[in-house]
Amino acid sequence: MRAGRSGFAVVVAGTLALGAFTAPSAQAADTGVKVSNLVLNKGKPIIVGTSAEVAPTFTYRLSWPSGLKQSDVNPALYLYHGTTAAKGVDKGRPIFTGSTICYEAGPVAANCEGELYIDPRYTLDSNNDATTWKSAVWIRVWDAKGKLKNEEYLPLSPTVRVKRAAKVTVDASPEPVAKGGKLTVTGKITRADWVKHKYTGFGGKAAKLQFRKAGTSTYKTVKTVKANSTGALKTTVTASADGYWRWTFGETNTTGGATAAGDYVDVR
């Protein structure tokens, strides 16, 4: 709790929340609750691998009609694919809130922050999930006796890209190599496969081969090489000085970027 402001916490624990999210009931209607200024993952794409849980952050401002108290309002942010916020829960496979805490910012408003919860082993079941996700908030309003008074699936404007994590390896040989000799640099680009739950070859992706001379701090691009159908990279360069070699590539619409750790080669 932050000094000078009271708050309440909402916890919806990952996959355990699946049963809690259902299509709107017959009583669902406009609650009068509003959500604004939503920022998802600090404005960056969400990168997800094959096994590690991911907890993207979010912040937003919550406001409610006069006559309600902060404790009467229970918000739960989620991401979805469906055509509507309700169908995104009922028919889709949403990304749910892991936890939320809201801090009062006046009699009818609060500033909220929290984390979403993604376990790629359960949350993502298709590589087509590497796309743009919509956002919404499930709003529940309770009466003084703790009985559900009203609820609403409130669609929001912000969206976020969810991307497959990628990796790249590097190997420069022979080591050591004679000055002016030929150095072969290989590597492989892979990315998360959310169906097979392992990293598989990312074919056809172009990567930059970079070199950092020993004693310096900056890598410089030597050439660009396109991976073959299995993601393999290979090229030949002339060895001129001791230093580090690496492959690097940027993000695409579906996949995150990656940079290999430098492979040091001694030139004699």
Same fold across 7-163 and 166-265: yes
Beta strands at 148-164 and 166-168: parallel, antiparallel or unpaired: unpaired
Per-residue exposure over 99-111, b if at least 16 CB sit within 10 Å of its own CB, e if not: bbbbbbeeebebb
User: pTM, whole model, 2 decimals?
Assistant: 0.88
Write down the pLDDT at residue 86.
86
Cα-based distances in Å from 182 to 176, 210, 238, 264: 11, 16, 5, 15
Write down the pLDDT at residue 145.
87
Domain coordinates in residue numbering, the chain: 7-163, 166-265
Give the fold, CATH level 3, of 166-265. Immunoglobulin-like (2.60.40)
Write down the pLDDT at residue 164.
98
Write down the pLDDT at residue 24.
47
Write down the pLDDT at residue 26.
39
- What architecture (CATH level 2) is domain 7-163? Sandwich (2.60)
204-246 per-position pLDDT tens digit: 999 999 999 999 999 999 999 999 999 999 999 999 999 999 9
Contact 87, 136 (CB under 8 A): no
d(Cα 55, Cα 197) in Å, to the nearest integer?
19
d(Cα 268, Cα 244) in Å, to the nearest integer?
15
pLDDT in tens, the chain (268 residues): 233 334 445 444 333 343 344 444 434 568 999 999 999 999 999 999 999 999 999 999 999 999 999 999 999 999 998 788 888 776 668 999 999 999 999 999 999 999 999 999 999 999 999 999 999 999 999 998 889 999 999 999 999 999 999 999 999 999 999 999 999 999 999 999 999 999 999 999 999 999 999 999 999 999 999 999 999 999 999 999 999 999 999 999 999 999 999 999 999 9
